[in-house]
Amino acid sequence: MAERTNSKHGRRGFLASLGAVGGGAMLTSLATGIPAQVLLNPLTASAGDKRDAKVLILSADERGGPLNANVPGMYEVGPTEIFHPQDASMAATELTLGGQTWTAAKPWADMPQTVLDQTCFFHHATYTPVHGEHSRVMKLMGATEKNDMLVSLLAAELAPMLGSVRADPISLGARGPELLSSAGRLLGNVAPTSVAQALGGVEGPLANLRDLRDASIDRVYNLYKERGTPNQLRLLDAWVRSRDDVRNVSTSLLSRLDGITNDGEEMQVRTAAVLAAMNISPVITIHLNFGGDTHVDAGLAAETTKYPLAVGNIQLLAQELAALEAEGSLPNDVIFASLNVFGRTLKKQGYGGRDHNEGHHTMVLIGNGVAPGVIGGVAPTPDNDDYIAQPIDSSTGAAAVDGDIPFEETLGAAGKTLGRVLGVDVARLDEIAPPGKIVEAALS
């Protein structure tokens, strides 16, 4: 993917986009360890403020690349008909998910087993072959509450649970149809270089966190002494970072921001990890290219080139998050997921590449709380010209002709399962996305 610098935000612009109060709360939260939502309303703090919620980093692609074509489940069905790149870098390779052996393209098998032990491949459909309908897919084809994007509805639920600065998602690599919306408002894209310019450097706001820590803790402590409760004082003691911890967080994040040199996919991944550490938003989207629009990709050359890079960037994200957690800079668990406009055809079509497949896409789920395995699968279409997603048994996750999640509800089931992994209440998910059922087999 061409590297882009398509954001108008600079240092002032990015912080201003968070709002003067929100930007200040973000930095103060980093400096103190106190959740941003508590800083905005300190006297309402209670022990229930921090719950089992997770941040989402979502890969979205309005071109509908061939992510679905080379994952587990695509080698066990129709092996003589489902075609794959022939280069050694994409060779069919065994891997283990939850104690079961599957076959996938080599980049997936090359993932560390510790990552695979938290990875699930969820086969479903998106019901559209149209590039421009990516926003509809993000709204589960019009099935979400108030016809809002799933990620925006999830972000609104997760923000108070995580203590995030803002309740709207942030996109780091969105193309036109991939731009996010929330409650009818179009949200702008923020380039990774703009984040680095806004927050990094020796004169940037992250360089002075220790001084901000001391002043902010004194302010909240005095407020609680005067008007708070004994429980709030105990919470403050539990939240507060030491000066050494703050120095480590500052050094850790600044060193990563100094390495953001362009707006390409690797830099989106690195920036997303930093923003997750800063707890700015519950949802961050990036753009990973698994091969692009591959109608005329004879020999699957683009797929062979791009696919390993995309999987490699997912592995890089896992590494960055693990390093941040080890350094004490990551306050919340993070889930990676994918949701593109559609998948690609699995039999050879047209000009020898892959056409649009409205009947099959794969949501990849990675992170703590995800049970390793494969949900659903594919079967031939009625006219046997390709493969599409099968119905799913919600209790086992297996593909089943008589599954209680019919083909028409597999997208909703994937979205609701993602929401449950993130920590959203079951009853609330039924309101956010009525169609489909949560697949318990995808949850650990």
Looking at residue 263, what DSSP letter applies? S
**Domains of the chain by start residue, with CATH:** 7-50+196-262 (no CATH), 53-191+264-442 (3.40.720)
Dihedral (Cα; 36, 272, 104, 372), 10-degree rounding: -10
Q: Which two tokens stand for residue 331?
A: 């306050």
Whole-angstrom distance, CA of residue 139 vs CA of residue 146: 9
Q: Which pLDDT score, from 0 to 100, does residue 142 have?
A: 95
Q: How many CB atoms lie within 10 A of CB 78?
A: 16
Classify strands 181-182 and 378-380 as parallel, antiparallel or unpaired.
unpaired
Q: Are 336 and 318 in contact (CB under 8 A)?
A: yes
Looking at residue 279, what DSSP letter applies? T
Radius of gyration, alpha carbons of the chain: 22
Q: Which pLDDT score, from 0 to 100, does residue 248 have?
A: 84
- pTM to 2 decimals? 0.91
Q: How many CB atoms lie within 10 A of CB 94?
A: 11
- DSSP-derived 3-state class of residue 133: helix
Classify strands 55-59 and 283-286 as parallel, antiparallel or unpaired.
parallel
Q: Which pLDDT score, from 0 to 100, does residue 5 have?
A: 39
Give the residue from 334, 211, 279 showing the smallest Cα distance to 25: 279
Looking at residue 202, what DSSP letter applies? T
Residue 27: partners with Cβ closer than 8 Å, 6 or more residues away: 205, 206, 209, 212
Whole-angstrom distance, CA of residue 255 vs CA of residue 201: 9
**DSSP assignments along 69-106, one per residue:** GGSTTSSSS-TTTS----SGGG-EEEEEETTEEEEEEH
Residues of the chain with pLDDT under 50: 1-11, 49-50
Q: What is the pLDDT of residues 225-273, one digit of tens each?
A: 999 998 888 888 888 888 888 888 888 899 999 999 999 999 999 999 9
Q: Which pLDDT score, from 0 to 100, does residue 200 have?
A: 83
- DSSP-derived 3-state class of residue 186: strand
